Structure 1
Amino acid sequence: MASKKIVLITGANKGIGFEIAKQLAAQHKEYHILMGSRDADRGAKAAEILQKDGLSVEALVLDVADEKSIESAAQTVESKFGSLDVLINNSGVALDSRTGEAPTRATFEQTFAVNVIGAALTTEAFIPLLEKSVGARLVFVSSDLGSLTLRADPHGRHSNVGATAYRCSKAAMNMLALQYANRFRPKGWKVNIHNPGYTATDLNAHSGPGTVEDAAKNAVRLATLGDDGETATYSEKEGSLPW
């Protein structure tokens, strides 16, 4: 275990996060995956599924909307592993993605609490451990719905989708990721933004046409970039996205 690189994925007990954990552990035996989950039982059951396939994973209780939970998770990782090599901020909510109603204050607050503030506070909590890694990697799982360029185009991708709170949160997450990319560029960290695409998950009541297998591919690539890999990019498995 001491020789393995340690990866933490938030919201990894199901959906895209689970698939990222599965692909990372299966394709990169040198990685040990911590599957973050706000529910201990669900996290343990998800990890057990992959462990039965011989994959190097374990569950970690982590609720990105709860500062005490974040702090506790960071302390657990520090005491058990002493460092962290990869952080994948995957946890997210889409409370207004399937409604045509105007967003409420509660919708904005709850969406930003997870998608932006949760990602920021989780990253900050784990920076001391990431700094102990040789070339840390950060991946922010965002969305093409956060692209300002695509939203400005009346005929752009998903131009018919409202989801105001969700769109705004993902645009904010993109800026957050770039803040970290700029901050840690001198240290050689690779900080990038991943768009999984419109994927069938619980987030959208499985209405998306994409598969979790495809949605995870680019995140896995970004998490395992070499020293010559890119940083401060916004991409999907087909290539780069406009800001």
Structure 2
Amino acid sequence: MKSVLITGANRNIGLETARQLSKKGLLVYLGSRNIEKGNIVLKELTEDGFDNIKAIEIDVTKPDTILSAKNRIETEQGKLDILISNAGILGEVPQHAIDTPIKEIQKVFDTNFFGGISVAQSFLELLKKSKSPRISIITSGLGSLTLHSDPSWKYYDVKHVGYITSKAALNAYTIVLAYELKGLSFKVNAIDPGFTATDFNNHIGTGTIESAAEFIIKHTLTDDDGPTGKFFSNDIEDETELSPW
């Protein structure tokens, strides 16, 4: 049975992704920075018949919890097949480039960028033990420099400086990571689940968590000849033309 760790998975898109992967027969580690909340969700999932999901504490801004999660998965599984780096925050909005305090921007970067790097680096050892390791870095179209430079883009006016710069940096990290792992069997991609109705945006998004999760899984459970170092967006219809880094 393949194993997958999803960070930030105790609600919204992360939780729905856990449900769908569980139904596909994968062993899912449901990452939660608050293990009490994670255990509550796990209890509900178990009552609904999910028996291959485990709650695990992991706060991407706290190295000790990342190491503890890595050690637990190593002890229980010996390897990790899939990492879905989903944890992220929006930060306080509005976020203007001219006056948002540096500490507020740093807070967003600590989770969205540095947290994502910490998790990826920490789990590489276990992922390398898998025959077909996958790293899916959950990003946003708001992190696209190309799209943000296009006044005709429908989200052109959404300019939250901390959030979009942290996601742009994360996209760049995805490219570098995929490049450095290209000689191995890794597939490393940035996946934008689209403007989804979640707690993250007070449910004003136009997409569903079901569609978002399906999109993430589609570009995670890829064949050995699948792409790596790419960006996929659920808000862009023609995936063959994607290059909005």
TM-score (normalizing by structure 1): 0.93
Partner in structure 1 of residue 157 of structure 2: 160
Tell me if 1:210 matches 2:212: no
Deviation at 1:51, TM superposition (A): 2.5
SS in 1 for 2:219: helix
Tell me if 1:63 matches 2:59: yes
- Judge which range, 133-142 or 155-164, deviates more: 155-164
Partner in structure 2 of residue 51 of structure 1: 46
Q: Is the 8 A contact 2:138 2:193 kept in 1?
A: yes
Equivalent AA in structure 2 for residue 114 of structure 1: T
* In structure 2, distance between residues paired with 1:154 and 1:63: 37
Equivalent AA in structure 2 for residue 50 of structure 1: L
* In structure 2, distance between residues paired with 1:132 and 1:157: 42
Aligned residues: 237
Question: C-alpha offsets along residues 125-165 of structure 1, whole Å, 9 cap, x if unaligned?
Answer: 11110010002000000000011111111222311112111
* In structure 1, distance between residues paired with 2:43 and 2:81: 23
- Judge which range, 10-19 or 41-50, deviates more: 41-50
* In structure 2, distance between residues paired with 1:110 and 1:139: 22
Q: Is the 8 A contact 2:9 2:18 kept in 1?
A: yes
Question: Which one of the candidate residues 188, 196, 216 is aligned to 2:185?
Answer: 188
Deviation at 1:209, TM superposition (A): 2.0
The Cα RMSD (Å) is: 1.4
Question: Which one of the candidate residues 58, 69, 75 is aligned to 1:73?
Answer: 69
Q: Is the 8 A contact 1:11 1:36 kept in 2?
A: yes
Equivalent AA in structure 1 for residue 244 of structure 2: P
SS in 1 for 2:181: helix
Question: Which one of the candidate residues 23, 37, 48 is aligned to 1:42?
Answer: 37
Long gaps (5+) in structure 1? none
* In structure 2, distance between residues paired with 1:46 and 1:176: 31
* In structure 2, distance between residues paired with 1:163 and 1:187: 36
Partner in structure 2 of residue 87 of structure 1: 83
* In structure 2, distance between residues paired with 1:100 and 1:183: 33
Equivalent AA in structure 2 for residue 66 of structure 1: K
Q: Is the 8 A contact 2:95 2:162 kept in 1?
A: no
- Judge which range, 4-13 or 66-75, deviates more: 66-75
Equivalent AA in structure 2 for residue 111 of structure 1: V
* In structure 1, distance between residues paired with 2:204 and 2:167: 19
Deviation at 1:115, TM superposition (A): 0.3
Identity over the aligned pairs, expressed in percent? 36
* In structure 2, distance between residues paired with 1:135 and 1:80: 19
Q: Is the 8 A contact 1:135 1:187 kept in 2?
A: no
Tell me if 1:99 matches 2:94: yes
Question: C-alpha offsets along residues 33-88 of structure 1, whole Å, 9 cap, x if unaligned?
Answer: 00000111111122222223333111000000101111111111111111000000
Q: Is the 8 A contact 1:150 1:157 kept in 2?
A: no
Question: C-alpha offsets along residues 209-231 of structure 1, whole Å, 9 cap, x if unaligned?
Answer: 22111111221112211112111
- Judge which range, 202-211 or 139-148, deviates more: 202-211
Question: Which one of the candidate residues 140, 163, 168 is aligned to 1:171?
Answer: 168
Equivalent AA in structure 2 for residue 73 of structure 1: A
* In structure 1, distance between residues paired with 2:196 and 2:143: 15
TM-score (normalizing by structure 2): 0.92
Give runs of ≥4 in structure 1 deviating > 6 Å: none
